[in-house]
Amino acid sequence: MLLRPLTSADAEIYRELRLAALREHPLAYVTDFREEAVLPIEEIQKRLDGSTAVTFGVFDDQQVLSGIGTLLWTTRLRQRFRATIVGMYVPHACRRQGIATELLGACIERARALPEVEEVCLSVTAGNEAARAAYIKFGFQPDYIEPRYFKHAGEYHDIEWLKLPLV
C-alpha cells in the first residue's frame, strides 16, 4: 500500500474514483454526481494543485487507486485556525484494510504542519453510522448537527459536524 498526495497528473484516476463514490453513495456527499461528472478535467487538475487543499490517495500493490481523502484550509485570517476533511472514500472491496485510517492520519499530519491550524473538522450525513463510528474511533468529537443541510431525491438530510482539536 502506498499513500501519497495526488497531483494534477492523477486527475483522471481521481475523477474516476470520485465519480464512483458519488454514484454509489449519493447520501454521503453534498456534491451531486451530475454536477461533478460535467466538470472539465482542467477543473479536476486545478483541484489537485495543492494551493489550499491536498488530496491523498492510497494505491494498492498494482498501483490502483484504492482510497481518497482531502484536507482543505483557508487563507482567510479569521478562519485559519481550522482545516476540514472532505471527500473521504474507500471502495467497498478495499474496506477493512486500514485505508480510511491511513487517509485520516495523512490529513491530520498535514493539518498539524499548517502553522495556524488548531482543529480539524469534518461532517457526516446523519444516519451514516459506519463512517461516524470510524471518525469517533479516530478521535473526532461530535460538535453539532446541522439540519436540512442538503436535499436529494426530494428529501432533506442533516449532517453532523465532528472536530478534532490539535492543540
* Element holding 34 (H helix, E strand): helix 33-37
CATH of the domain at 24: 3.40.630.30
Q: Strand order in 82-89's β-sheet?
A: 2-5, 53-59, 65-73, 82-89, 119-125, 155-165, 141-152
Check: CB of residue 42 under 8 Å from CB of residue 1: no
* Cell numbers placing 163: 472536530
| Number of domains the chain contains | 1
Domain that holds residue 53: 2-119
In a domain? residue 134: no
Check residue 96 and give its pLDDT: 86
| pLDDT beneath 70: ranges in the chain | none
Instruction: Say what the pTM is.
Output: 0.94
> How far apart (Å, rounded) are the C-alpha atoms in residues 96 and 56?
18
Confirm whether 55 is domain-assigned: yes
Residue 142 lies in a domain: no
Q: Residue 140 has what pLDDT?
A: 97
